Amino acid sequence: MTLLVKSSYSHRFLSSSTPAMSVCSSFCPQLPSYFRQKPINSLPTKPLFPLSFKVFSSQATGVSAEDELPGRIGFLGMGIMGTPMAQNLLKAGCDVTVWNRTKSKCDPLISLGAKYQPSPDEVAASCDVTFAMLADPESAMDVACGKHGAASGMGPGKGYVDVSTVDGDTSKLINGHIKATGASFLEAPVSGSKKPAEDGQLIFLAAGDKSLYNTVAPLLDIMGKSRFYLGDVGNGAAMKLVVNMIMGSMMATFSEGLLLSEKVGLDPNVLVEVVSQGAISAPMYSLKGPSMIESLYPTAFPLKHQQKDLRLALGLAESVSQSTPIAAAANELYKVAKSHGLSDEDFSAVIEALKAKK
């Protein structure tokens, strides 16, 4: 397994034989000259091309001089996550072509200089590497392998990187369709929500073709703060589902705690503060707690996607006979929340399901 972490103020590839500035310059030739010419130690506070260093590795990693870097990047799916991810590639000077089922969501990207193609296969045909950030297994399959799907535009020398959260079986099916065209495939679901996507601070959980992983590493580093290479297709999906299974259960029990504290006469704001200082502190609690207390759920991670991830995680657990009673109970709560019309609210709206249970 390989983990690379973005660090501040320096160039990107410690393990690369190619200096990071020249890698990134050839990758995104339209980069502002500032970033191409500034000495490494004078980069700005928000590192656009920060140092990546290997903290744990059992395999070769990094980008070598002979790796061919993709010049034209496709991006399919301009939702909450896809839009800022594609924006960050554009802002870094990359040549990006976008597509979305609802075309109007491409407009902000087109204003920023993105090209547009009217179907996934036309994006794939016109690009070296195509990313996909889609809602669920069904849409990921359809956009990759359906009529006018990306696979129809793929071929040798091209790469497809699916960053959607899907189950391993779906990812393997997409892998099969893409590989059948002679192209390479990588699954790379992300940890981190809307704000980390905007800030280029996502965590990529990649698995699949190692050479494609190396090729797209500079792009992952533009969109994220760290990346793990986890081996065979399915491992990235599994890691993502386990992480989100934990997260979904955490949010459900946090909701119970907020409501219980209030019912016994405590100030839930103080509970959030106490939690933030102790061993169970998590950024999620401090971030979401205050708005949950106000019954506000501005959508960063839609509740319907959290329930989808719990459903898929339970399927994963079932496949290996692992008992997951806490996650199963949490899943039921998200299903109740969905039945109350909260699908498109933030997943923290799951607390409303507990309010309804008198």
> Which partner in ligand SSN, ligand NDP, none is near 134 (CB below 5 to 8 A by kind)?
ligand NDP
Residue 236 near residue 174, CB atoms below 8 Å? no
Q: Please list the residues that pair with 203 across neighbouring strands.
A: 191, 226
Round to whole Å and give the CA distance between 4 and 125: 30
Of 91 and 105, which CB lies nearer to ligand NDP in the complex structure? 105
> Which partner in ligand SSN, ligand NDP, none is near 14 (CB below 5 to 8 A by kind)?
none
**Angle, alpha carbons 344-345-351 (nearest 5°):** 135
139 binds ligand NDP (CB under 6 A): yes
Q: How far is CA 103 from the centre of its chain?
A: 21
| Residue from 54, 91, 101, 340 binding ligand NDP (CB under 6 A) | 101
190 binds ligand NDP (CB under 6 A): yes
208 binds ligand SSN (CB under 6 A): no
Q: Which residues contact 262 (CB under 8 A, 6 or more apart)?
A: 268
3-state secondary structure 67-103: CCCCCEEEEECCCCCHHHHHHHHHHCCCEEEEECCCH
Of 128 and 162, which CB lies nearer to ligand SSN in the complex structure? 162
Binding-residue pattern over the window 220 to 259 for ligand SSN, x denoting contact by CB under 6 A: ------------------------x---------------
Residue 90 near residue 71, CB atoms below 8 Å? no
Question: Could you say which residues in the range 141-160 bind ligand SSN, by CB under 6 A?
Answer: none
Q: Please list the residues that pair with 7 across neighbouring strands.
A: 51
Stretch that binds ligand SSN, among 72-80, 190-198, 273-281, 318-326 (CB under 6 A): 190-198
CB of 298 to ligand NDP, least distance (A): 12
Question: Could you say which residues in the range 297-336 bind ligand SSN, by CB under 6 A?
Answer: 301
Binding-residue pattern over the window 19 to 58 for ligand NDP, x denoting contact by CB under 6 A: ----------------------------------------
**In angstroms, what CA-CA distances link 320 with 68, 313, 323?**
39, 11, 9
Total residues binding ligand NDP (CB under 6 A): 26
Of 80 and 328, which CB lies nearer to ligand SSN in the complex structure? 80
18 binds ligand SSN (CB under 6 A): no
Closest CA to 284 of 336, 355, 346: 346
305 binds ligand NDP (CB under 6 A): yes
- What DSSP line would sit under 151-195, residue for residue? GGG--TT-EEEE-S---HHHHHHHHHHHHHTT-EEEE--EES-HH
Residue 275 near residue 285, CB atoms below 8 Å? yes
Round to whole Å and give the CA distance between 12 and 63: 10
Active site residues: 240
> Which partner in ligand NDP, ligand SSN, none is near 135 (CB below 5 to 8 A by kind)?
ligand NDP
100 binds ligand NDP (CB under 6 A): yes
Which residues bind to ligand NDP, rule: CB under 6 A? Answer: 77-82, 100-102, 105, 133-136, 139, 142-143, 164-165, 190, 193-194, 300-302, 305
Which residues bind to ligand SSN, rule: CB under 6 A? Answer: 165, 191-193, 244, 301
